[in-house]
Structure 1
Amino acid sequence: MPAPSPSPSPAPAALAEAPARPVPPRRRFRWLFAGLLLTLFSWHADWDIAAAAWLAAVPLMRFTRLSGPVNGFAWVFGLGLVAAAAWMALSGLLVPGFWLPLGIVSLAAVTAVPLLADRLLAPRLGAVGTVLATLVFPTARVACEFLIGEFSGIGAFLGVLGTTQHANLPLIQLASVTGAYGVSFLVAWSAPVTVTAWERGFALRRVRGAVAAYTAVLGAVLAGGGLLLAFAAPASDTVRVVGVSPARAAKESLADVDRRAPGFAAFLADRDAQRAAFGPVQDDIVRRTEDAARSGADVVSWPETDVPTTDWGKDALVDRVGAVASEHGVHVLMGLLVYTEDPGLVRNQAVLVGPDGAPSAVYDKAHPTPMEAVAMEPGDGVLPARDTRHGRIGVAICYDADFPALMRQGGRAGVDLMLVPANDWSGIDRMHPERATLRAVENGYALVRQATNGIATAVDHQGRPLGRSDHDRTAQQTMTADVPSSGVPTLYSRIGDTFAWLCVAATTGAAAAVALRRRRDRGRAAGTGAPYTGGQGTAGQSGDG
């Protein structure tokens, strides 16, 4: 990989006005490695540090601004691939197929491409104004996050800065207008403001405009979010939701059930073997559902795929649950793994049973994970929304919540309570429900995520935690949460990802304008016989810090 040139590339006076002093390559590499280390803690994982999201781009940007555009990008992207592979491994995402290389490249790209945009575009836009120059990086960052999430098939699962701030409730209220990408924008904007101040020796008078603009916007967002939390908190009646999972001891009967085993086709033909394997789990979850109903639950939710059944045995299980629901007047969301007559095909379903004992909605997971996709057909991607005496209830399943456009269906339909049965694993069991918090804020509904092999959570429409239960810390996971029975309409649920599309348009427009300006400058230089300098000016970067 090429090393950055020993002397820094020149930059316009708009971005750096101090006399240039050479910065030793060794020091620049220290910034590179420090930035990549911080980045590992800012991609949102179980070991995530929220502050790292604000800091990681600062040393990386310092490195790229003091390096040639190609060399700087090559180093950040190349080492970013290594860091991304480590992140995927630590998150338990080393899965076969296209998803692994796509995920690694996406994480590296969402880190390196915005820095390249800053390096190429900010110096020229700095001639117009420092504030405008500092907007290049956050705009490009949001554009990359959004385009990867929208068109890669991965969803908003990788590299979205906004979800790292899930616990900063005043800040994430912005998501109800812009989606999580607006939070990403504010987090990313801090880096160019900081680096520009660094380049100018932290002399406030020379970066007053950029600092004032950023401080004013961030302050307004935090103040507005704080006011919403203080004066627009949920005030409706509550509905008691109890999440139940089968006991671990009951699931021991499933130890030998493996659809990949040579004898699995024979197992599907043997009803007695199925009853012996599935019966203990089904009996346990039905009993716990009835216990929850007797204890005052209004809604009982199962996790994803923790209860196995078959196409020919599902109706009998639904009837059993329907009897419990009608006797106690509760709603039950059944998370089912449904085996079919084809040994290579299963269904990941959620069945919502009403107090009348009948199923009111049957939903197939729209976005199977890479591990599921080899044996699971996705559903039609239409989220059910059913009116009940406890408000309008919507249903999605686990990974579906990483696709903002899908979850926005619930916001547009006026869902008050979104039930999201889930099944996680060590490596994503903390961060996955944290990401789902942003979907609740974006769309104005409470979200209950009963998760086996992970952490079950419940939040209201402003992201407040209302319930939590760790599957790995108990022999039988149960979570109880009293959640608001009424949601609120949000602007984001109506306008969608307009903000993200504006960032895509702005980044594309800025790149086109700079390219056009460069072409025009070359033409003028050719006409006069003067050498073309690239319009970089003569001012150097500030000292080595």
Structure 2
Amino acid sequence: MASKLSSSAVVAFCLALSAALFFLGTGLAPVWILTWLAAMPVLYVSSRVSAAEAFFIAAAAYALGGLNEWSYTRTVLPTWLVAFILLSTACVFGIAVLLFRSRVLRGKLWQAALIAPAFWVAAEYIVAIVSVHGTFGNISYSQMNFLPIVQIASVTGIWGISFCLFLFAATVAAVCSSGPGSAKVPLSIAVAIVLVCVFGFGIWRLAATPKDSPKVKVALIASDEAENVHADTPAQAQAVFQRYAEQMKFLVEQGVQVFVLPEHSGPVTDLSQPQFDAFLGQMAKQAGAYVAVGIDRSTTNATWNQERLYSSNGSFVASYNKHHLLPHLENETPGTERTVIAEPSGKWGMEICKDMDFPRLSRQYSQDGIGLLLVPAWDFVQDGWLHGRMAVLRGVESGFSIARSAKLGILTVTDDRGRVLAERDTLNAPFATVVATVPVRHDATIYSRFGNWFAWLDLALLIVLLGLPFISRD
């Protein structure tokens, strides 16, 4: 009886510990180091209980940890769908733990250490392909405050970060299992070498940042005041931009070359466009800088979530229509074209908010050779850090700087290594502003050239690992 109670206490402790680590190590404000530890307790206990118990413990731990985003996610999705996504992801984690357990019980520690990360990354990749929300929810975003590991995304994309997280946890759990000791030392050494190489590459890449790149001074401005968040008519839109123009005057003396304002700042129709372009052109001319703004451009046939760019001489330069719209909340027509502007400092690109959840579009911009991306955005208060850092990772993957102006979020200027050059929360001032000098640097990364090669390699690895038990002689 005492042994059963002791065993139950260990199981309960492992479940609670993993749940707490997932809760604190993922979500909207993750503590990155805890994510590395989160899977470890349930992986450790999985070989000491039945398969059904191992699955339940793992799924329960992940589901409880996933409650850290419950209230936020329900602001953009129906409750039933939030619950379905949470439970489905928990089951995926449960299956990963079962696969790990099956290999540990057979004494196949190398397979155990590899199959959990391989399965998890394969599931993340499939979800990213089919989901209308792209890579949102990927566990790799928990690491955005740990830049050395983030640099591997320039080689493998986001998938390499997830793989390393689960490789570490699965290896530690395998080494702590009752499996054969002869395999534990070489496994530990091999995985340690892999992780040291990954961290070493990250440290080297950060240290090797070019110092002589062309630079521009950007200013981000956003207002969360009700009258400025969104306008319903062209006249109201002009009033909103008039207030933005007043704020721009205070920044002109700092030598700002590009202003970026948020998305969905007001409607522009065929009738109002000439007046709007003249007004925004005058704003840009008076500021002596480029001005990028997000508007709702509507015609008799369609409406677009559009970014428009005006030059310092007052002329309209280019427009870009958002490709990836937020389901149920944005009913505009999706855009299909990229917009690249050639400047003396280098090439600039244009995207809008949710576009940054999808690596492919940013990778295409990298192939265009851009060094700076101008991004109007609109967040949901709670997700300001997370959604902003998701965008930052696109710059690391595909090698460019980003100026992202988000209302109800955080203004963020970052370089191609993911360094935050300047940021400010928009919630505590009528108008929030950020000014930073940003390098216009194009880095042709391995990921931008070869895309999701690591995800496909991971899928191949998973297939091999799943097939080994059927061809093994013992």
| Other structure's SS at 1:372 match | coil
Matched, 1:38 2:15: no
**Cα distance in 2, alignment partners of residues 110 and 462 from structure 1:** 31
Instruction: Please give the TM-score of this superposition, normalised by the length of structure 2.
Output: 0.90
- TM-fit CA distance, 1:437: 1.9
Aligned with 1:483 (options 438, 457, 460): 438
Q: What is aligned with 1:108? A: 90
Matched, 1:459 2:414: yes
- TM-fit CA distance, 1:237: 2.9
Q: Which runs of 5+ in 2 are unaligned?
A: none
**Cα distance in 1, alignment partners of residues 316 and 81 from structure 2:** 35
Matched, 1:224 2:183: no
Residue correspondence of structure 1 range 116-195 to structure 2 within 5 A: 116-121=98-103, 123-124=105-106, 126-127=107-108, 130-158=109-137, 160-195=138-173
| Other structure's SS at 2:427 match | helix
Q: What is aligned with 1:439? A: 394
Q: What is aligned with 2:78? A: 96
Query: Whose relative contact order is higher, 1 or 2, with alpha carbons under 8 Å and at least 6 apart?
Result: 1
Q: What is aligned with 1:13? A: none
Instruction: Please give the TM-score of this superposition, normalised by the length of structure 1.
Output: 0.79
Q: Answer yes or no: is the 8 Å Cα contact 2:217–2:437 preserved in 1.
A: yes
Computed over aligned residues only, the root mean square deviation of the Cα atoms, in angstroms, reads 3.0
Residue correspondence of structure 1 range 207-246 to structure 2 within 5 A: 207-246=184-223
Distance change in 2, residues 1:289/1:299 (3 Å): same
Q: What is aligned with 2:256? A: 297
**Cα distance in 2, alignment partners of residues 296 and 314 from structure 1:** 29
Residue correspondence of structure 1 range 308-347 to structure 2 within 5 A: 308-326=267-285, 329-338=288-297, 347=304
**Cα distance in 1, alignment partners of residues 35 and 165 from structure 2:** 7
| Other structure's SS at 2:393 match | helix
Aligned with 1:376 (options 324, 327, 332): 332
- TM-fit CA distance, 1:94: 5.2
Matched, 1:56 2:41: no
Q: Answer yes or no: is the 8 Å Cα contact 1:331–1:352 preserved in 2.
A: yes
**Cα distance in 2, alignment partners of residues 106 and 386 from structure 1:** 43
Aligned with 1:429 (options 369, 384, 391): 384
- Shifted more, 171-180 versus 233-242: the winner is 233-242
**Cα distance in 2, alignment partners of residues 123 and 318 from structure 1:** 69
Q: What is aligned with 2:471? A: 517
**Cα distance in 2, alignment partners of residues 246 and 204 from structure 1:** 61
String of CA shifts for 1:321-372, please: whole Å, max 9, x gaps.
2234346553221111346668xx8532111223453333322221122342
**Cα distance in 1, alignment partners of residues 352 and 80 from structure 2:** 22
- TM-fit CA distance, 1:151: 1.6
Q: Answer yes or no: is the 8 Å Cα contact 2:411–2:424 preserved in 1.
A: yes
- TM-fit CA distance, 1:308: 4.1
**Cα distance in 1, alignment partners of residues 70 and 329 from structure 2:** 18
String of CA shifts for 1:178-218, please: whole Å, max 9, x gaps.
112111111111111211222259x9876211211121111
| Other structure's SS at 1:303 match | coil
Distance change in 2, residues 1:103/1:346 (3 Å): farther
Aligned with 1:87 (options 69, 74, 80): 69
Q: What is aligned with 1:527? A: none
- TM-fit CA distance, 1:286: 3.2
Distance change in 2, residues 1:290/1:392 (3 Å): farther
**Sequence identity percentage:** 26
**Count of residue pairs brought into register by the alignment:** 473
AA of the residue aligned to 1:315: P
Q: Answer yes or no: is the 8 Å Cα contact 1:325–1:331 preserved in 2.
A: yes
AA of the residue aligned to 1:198: C
Whose radius of gyration is greater, 1 or 2?
A: 1
Distance change in 2, residues 1:148/1:42 (3 Å): farther
Q: What is aligned with 1:505? A: 460
- TM-fit CA distance, 1:97: 8.5
**Cα distance in 2, alignment partners of residues 247 and 195 from structure 1:** 47
Distance change in 2, residues 1:484/1:62 (3 Å): same
Distance change in 2, residues 1:247/1:145 (3 Å): closer
AA of the residue aligned to 1:457: T
Q: What is aligned with 2:9? A: 26
AA of the residue aligned to 1:236: S
- TM-fit CA distance, 1:224: 2.1
- TM-fit CA distance, 1:436: 1.8
| Other structure's SS at 1:315 match | helix
**Cα distance in 2, alignment partners of residues 280 and 242 from structure 1:** 20
- Shifted more, 104-113 versus 143-152: the winner is 104-113
Q: What is aligned with 2:305? A: 348
Distance change in 2, residues 1:311/1:73 (3 Å): farther
Q: Which runs of 5+ in 1 are unaligned?
A: 1-5, 8-20, 258-267, 269-273, 522-534, 536-545
String of CA shifts for 1:501-544, please: whole Å, max 9, x gaps.
11112112321332x338xx7xxxxxxxxxxxxx6xxxxxxxxx
- TM-fit CA distance, 1:84: 3.4
- TM-fit CA distance, 1:122: 5.2
Matched, 1:399 2:381: no
- TM-fit CA distance, 1:289: 4.0
